[in-house]
Chains A and B, each alone.
Chain A
Amino acid sequence: MTDWLGMTPNPRDPRPELRARVLARAVRPGAGRRRWVWRAAAAVLVLVLGGGAAYWARDTIAALSAERDRLAAELAAVRDTLGFVRGPATRVVWVPVTTNGRLGAVTIFADSATRRWLVRCEGMAPNQPDETYQFWFVTAGGLKRAAVMTMDEDDATVMAMAFEVPADVGPVTGAAMSIEPRAAGGGGGGSGEPRGPMVFHLRL
């Protein structure tokens, strides 16, 4: 006869406002179902928001990772350049130049140990559309091609270039720069040996 044990606890009067709510909820068709619909809708909303947040987080993390990699690469390049410039075997030569009536300068960092060169040109006149600056290594066997540096009207007035002395060039005793024909189509161009006017020619 445990059925009657439910009457063991003292009765408690429900709050008066509860009566209408309970009765309305009981007789309203689908009240329970509606509550589950709301719960399901809330769950879907949570899922959508959670998914959106996860997508945003993944996107942001990917962008930040790319930015970190870019900055790390830039830092490595700066460290490499700084190490190169401050290296014990690096010589620095500053050459004042005049191009098309404009006074500029070329700074050469030459590392004889690693045979790496860094050339910085500043304040040089822009090339004519069919011309380019060409840099030369001075060796016992004559002038050898080093690099082509083209400066157009809309380029910055400062240009830097790093390159290595090829193994077959031999000992480098100096450097030179001349103005040579530019290749058709806007490519590098240059000449096998200097033909145009010399910008500078010096011994290191």
Chain B
Amino acid sequence: MTQPKRLSQEDERTLVLRLKARDEGALAELYDALAPWVLGLATRILRDDGEAEEVLGDVFVQVWGRIHQHEPTRGPLVPWVLSIARHRALDALRRRRRWWRKAERWGAAQRLEDNGAAAAPDPGEASVPGWPVHQEVHAALAALPGDQRRVVLLAYFEGLTHSEIARRTGQPLGTVKTRLRIAHGKLAEALRHVKDWMR
């Protein structure tokens, strides 16, 4: 079994410096390590392979073009890249929602997954670098009560505002805000020790 790739914070700093020095090899390394996660996140949000691949390309264009905006003191590289991926995917999702027919298909796909029929394939724990972090995030989410987990997922993966979540769940706005605040606190506590890029 292949061991997950392990990169220390020192390695990550070096990689960022190489990217800022316009080292194309560094971008290729970043792609090899992060592309599966970016594509997984984009696919989870968009439920469309073609659009997710488009987002994947956009993300690495943006990373290469804006690497100088990344401040290591404000956070690690991986969440920064995934944040770009999330925003690009949500942008695409909002564009697509304006096209009602596609939105309808997306809803059908979501209903399918709600019934447990469309989960992304499990690639196996050792085949992709970063798998331990993936498991820890899952564990942290699973530890949340169901109502808190749901509001976190709606906010993160569907980009819904607090008001939209309140309408979607039928809960008062204040309740939604409280659940999100408590959930974020629990997640921050649970993932506080995740410092390395991938370990």
Contact of B24 among A6, A22, A23, A25 (CB under 8 A): A23
- The answer on a CB contact under 8 Å between A12 and B187 is no
**For residue A12, which residues in chain B have a CB less than 8 angstroms away from its CB?**
36, 39-40, 43, 52, 120-121, 123
Across the interface, do A13 and B123 meet the contact criterion of CB distance under 8 Å? Answer: yes
Name A37-76 residues within 8 Å CB distance of B. Answer: none
Cβ distance A151 to chain B, nearest Cβ, rounded Å: 73
B56 at the binding interface (Cβ < 8 Å):
yes
CB within 8 Å of A: which B21-73 residues: 24, 27-28, 31-32, 35-37, 39-41, 43-44, 52-53, 56-57, 60-61, 63-65
Please classify the interface of chain A as helix (H, G, I), strand (E, B), loop, or mixed, using the class held by over half of its residues: helix
Are A19 and B35 in contact (CB-based, < 8 A)?
yes
Closest to A13 in B: B36
Classify chain B's interface size: 35 or more
Residue A100 CB within 8 A of the other chain? no
In whole angstroms, how far apart are the Cα atoms of A109 and B185 in the complex?
107
B37 touches A7 (CB 8 A): yes
Contact A8 B138 (CB under 8 A): yes
| A6 surroundings in chain B (CB, below 8 A) | 37, 41, 78-79, 82-83, 85-86
Q: A5 at interface (Cβ–Cβ under 8 A)?
A: yes
- Asked if B188 is at the interface of the complex by the 8 Å CB criterion, the answer is yes
B28, A23: Cβ atoms under 8 Å? Answer: yes
Can you list 10 residue pairs at the A/B interface with Cβ under 8 Å?
Answer: A1-B189, A4-B191, A6-B37, A6-B86, A7-B130, A8-B141, A9-B120, A11-B123, A13-B39, A19-B35
